[in-house]
Structure formats: structure tokens, C-alpha cells
Structure 1
Amino acid sequence: MNGEINLLTLLSLVIAIVAIVKLRSVLGRRTSEDEARIEKRRREAQLQKTAAATQSDKVVTLPRREREAESTDTAVSVAEVEERIKSFAGKDTALANGLTDILKLDPAFDPEHFVRGARQAYEMIVTAFAEGNRRLLRDLLSADVLDSFTRAISEREQRGHVIDQSFVGINKADMIEAEVSPKGIASITLRFVSQLISATRDKAGNIIDGDDTRIKDVTDIWTFSRDISSREARRNLNWKLVGTQAPN
């Protein structure tokens, strides 16, 4: 009887071990549905990262200092920036007054940070126009300026012309005007002096305008605008190009 009991016990033990092994193998194995689900999540995460990177590349937020809390500390911060505006504007009283008006509505505004961001925006816009990148331009230009730029791009494409351009750099970016409209729209005008190597080619690849071997000095006067009329409006930090003009 002891032998029979030991045999039954042994058989039970073997069966239990086999069952545990099978159970572990099933629990630890990825089915085709599991693989598909994991791959789907991986693709979704990658798309989210790509979309975030694309949005970051498209939108130019002209840098500014973080907004201070609305307290006595803010008043001190405003006073400091006003002093910097006087230094920044030099003897141009009209410019200083315009920057001060912007500061009164937007205490976080900093003219030096603005100019650095505007330089970045200028290069992006000039390059996007040459490449015919409408998507990028859409996020940097006002509706009127975008319409003008896209018409020029379309006409160029219809003729089969291509701009071969290299952006060398910006020599100067001087702020020349600043104002706030009665509706609280801030506008700042800058004069850019840049260097480009640019040539326009026809369908056959022949140069019909410009020179692909010579650096050319280019002067542009651009106006950027942003709504700062309310706290809600100021949450949108993006300035857009609202006007261009040739230098006198």
C-alpha cells in the first residue's frame, strides 16, 4: 500500500509540475495579438513625438522672461525693464515710448530677447519662402502676408522656377518702431541686414536671376505683431509677421 501511495503521489507531483510549466509558458508568451497591440502603442508614441517636434519646429516663440507674479516684485521687475528699454532705445524717444507702452500691458516683455527671437524668425521665413514651404509660413505669417507669399510661390512654381539659396547670416537686426494700438495689438518693426547666396533657375536649370557664387547684402524692414490686450491673449506668445517693406 505504501508503494501505491508513493506512486500516486509521484504521479500527482509530475502532473502538477507539467501543469505549472505549461501555465508559465502560456503566461510568459506574447501572442500575435499582443505583438500587434505593443507595436501599435509604439507607433502611436513615435507619432506623438514626431508631431511635437514638428510643432516645435514650425512655431517661433520670440523669447521673453517668465512672467512674474502680480505683486510688488512685478513692479520692481517692470522698473528694471523700463530702464533697460531706455538704454536699448537710446535717443529714440518714440521707440522708447512704444516699448514702454508694450511693457505696461505685458510686464514680461524684454526687447533684447525679442530681437533674438526675431532674428530666428527672419531666417526661418526667408528660407521657407525660398523652399516653398507653405506649412511653415502658415504659422509665422499673418493672413494677409501669407496670401502674398503663397501667391508668389505659386507663380514661381507655375513657371517652373526654383530658388537655389544659402542663408549666410544676419549682420544687423535693429528695432526702429514700436507701438500698441487702441485694441491692445503690439507691433514692432525691425530693419534686417542679411547676407544671402541666391539664384533663380528655370526649368532647364539655367540661372535667370541672381548669382550662385556671390554673397549679396539684403535689407528688409519687417513688422511683427501680437495681441497683448488681455491675460488670455498674452498666453499666446507667438508674434507673426504682419508687414514687409523695402528700405528707402
Structure 2
Amino acid sequence: MDFTAGHFPVDLVLLGLIAAFLVVRLRGILGKQTGLQRPPVGQTAPGMPGRKPSAPVIDGRAEPAAAAERPLPDPTGPVGLRLARIRERDRSFDVASFIRGAEGAFRKIVQAFAEGDRTTLRANLTESAFNAFDAAISAREQAGETQRAEVRTILHADVVDAALNERAGLWLASIDVKFVSDQISLVLGRDGQPVSGADATTELADLWTFERLLDAAGSAAGPNWRLANARSA
């Protein structure tokens, strides 16, 4: 490449702009990379490491850590007191059991997304969340892309916030859970070549909001806890 006066390095500028675009795109994914990429497992797939936006993927074969090992919020702290309000409204609510169920939902939902299983997604997501996931699946299908993924472990599943609000005579309970997991995630294009991701384990952080409607008596007024929102943490 000629760097003499009068020769502007256009190719370098273009490469810089492309790199900046990819960085912004990858930072907006569902599940932000939080640590160093682990050593590749087997052959490392070519292509840009990272994940396609709104593409949580998980295989579901790895065993989750025991829920009893998960730290629970301080019952005297702000989050603990909000959880206590939910417990007052719903006597069947138990934080440890909720976390255990949330981990199972995390694996089930991201696997269903990777497989394009709309039936499972519709049963476990709120209507607005389902519409977002459905649109992402449709875009992937139209582009002829496929998802390959594997979750190695869920490192953390922490309740970071909770709320209980009245809505048209009902009570809406919501709980935010931060998941940190080791995953392998790869998106392949129509030609079988990598579009994003790599066959290497990466630590990702996701913040999911689960919701449940309760009636005035404290009983579930609708389906059990459902995913209402998912974003990178």
C-alpha cells in the first residue's frame, strides 16, 4: 500500500468503517460477551466471533449448577424486600424454586429460538416478547441462515430486581434475572459459511425479565412465569 503524499489510504478507511460497524452490531446482541474467549473446542470456525443480534442459542445438554448453590438476594435489601411483596401476594412463591425454574426456562427458550420452535416460544413468552423472537426467526429463515449452538454451563443466575404493580384489578409480578453462561454460538449462511460466531466457548451475559399475573386473592390469573424481555447485560 502506498502511503506517499497525495495518496489517501481509502482501503484502510473502508476497513475501519466495516470494523466499527461489526463492533456496534456485536455489542447489541442478546448476551454481551463478558470475558475472554475460551480456547476453541475442536476446529475454530472462520468468521467474526460474536453472535447475531437477538439470537440466544443454547443446546440444553449441559447440566446446570444446582439451584441450592445460587446466592439468594439479601432478604433485608431492596431486592429482597420487593420479593417479599410478591411472596405476600403469592404464598406459593419461593425464590430458590423460581431461580431453578428460570434456569430451565433459559435453556428451553434459547434452544427453541435456535431451532425455530415457535410453539415452545409461544407457550413460554409474553405476546410482545414472542413477536420479537418470531420476527428474528423469520428474518433468519428468509436469509437462509441456520443456528448452531451449545451451552457449556450457566455460571450465574442472579435475581437483580423485582417489582409488583397493580394492573386493571390484577397484580403483575416481574423479576429480573442476570444469566452468565459459557456458550458456543455460530450462525451459518445459505452457503454453509459462518455469518457470525465461532466454534469457541465465550462467556455471555443476559438480563431476562419474567412476568406473572396474580389475581386479588394471590392466585395465578394466567399462565405461569413467562419471559417478557431479554437483552444483553
TM bin, normalised by shorter chain, reads 0.5 to 0.7
Do 1:186 and 1:226's aligned partners in 2 also have CA atoms closer than 8 Å? Answer: yes
Tell me which residue corresponds to 1:10.
none
User: Which residue of 1 is the match for residue 119 of structure 2?
Assistant: 135
Residue by residue over 1:147-176, the C-alpha shift from the partner in whole angstroms, topping out at 9 and shown as x without a partner, is 000000000000000011112221100000
Provide the TM-score with structure 1 as the length reference.
0.61
The structure where strand makes up a greater share of residues is 2
The letter of the residue matching 1:196 is Q
- Partner residue of 1:3? none
| Number of the residue aligned with 2:95 | 111
Residue 189 of structure 1: aligned partner = 176
**Structure 1 position 167 matched with structure 2 position 154:** no
Distance 1:107 1:91, change over 3 A: closer
From the superposition, tell whether residues 189 and 92 of structure 1 become closer, same or farther in structure 2 (CA, over 3 Å): farther
Match of 1:226 in 2: 212
Q: Find the counterpart in structure 1 of residue 29 from structure 2.
A: none
Distance 2:176 2:101 in 1: 13
Which residue of structure 1 lines up, in the alignment, with residue 228 of structure 2? 242
More helix by share: 1
Say which of 172, 176, 194 aligns to 2:160: 176
Q: Which has the higher contact order (CA 8 A, sep 6+)?
A: 2
Cα separation, 1, equivalents of 2:105 and 2:166:
26
Q: Cα distance 1:145–1:92, how it changes in 2: closer, same or farther (>3 A)?
A: farther
Paired amino acid for 1:204: D
Q: By how many angstroms is 1:225 displaced? A: 0.5
TM superposition shift of 1:92: 6.5
Determine what percentage of the aligned residue pairs are the same residue: 32
CA distances 1:16-55 after superposition (whole Å, capped 9, x unpaired): xxxxxxxxxxxxxxxxxxxxxxxxxxxxxxxxxxxxxxxx
**Matching of residue 215 in structure 1 with residue 201 in structure 2:** yes
Equivalent residues of 1:180, 1:186 under 8 A apart:
yes
TM-score by length of 2: 0.65
CA separation of 1:182/1:236 partners in 2, compared to 1, >3 Å: closer, same or farther? Answer: closer
Distance, in Å, in 1 between the alignment partners of 2:108 and 2:166 is 30
CA contact (8 A) 1:127 1:167 kept: no
Amino acid aligned to 1:193: V
Structure 1 gaps of 5+ residues are 1-86
Q: Distance in 2 between matches of 1:239 and 1:91?
A: 21
User: Which residue number in structure 2 is paired with residue 51 of structure 1?
Assistant: none
In 1, Cα distance between the equivalents of 2:223 and 2:130? 19
RMSD of aligned residue pairs (Cα, Å): 1.8
Secondary structure of residue in 2 paired with 1:230: coil
Counterpart in the other structure of 1:84:
none
> Which residue in 2 is equivalent to 1:28?
none
Distance 1:144 1:155 in 2: 17
| C-alpha distance in 2 between matches for 1:144 and 1:235 | 18
* Separation in 2, partners of 1:246, 1:167: 16
Distance 1:118 1:177 in 2: 14
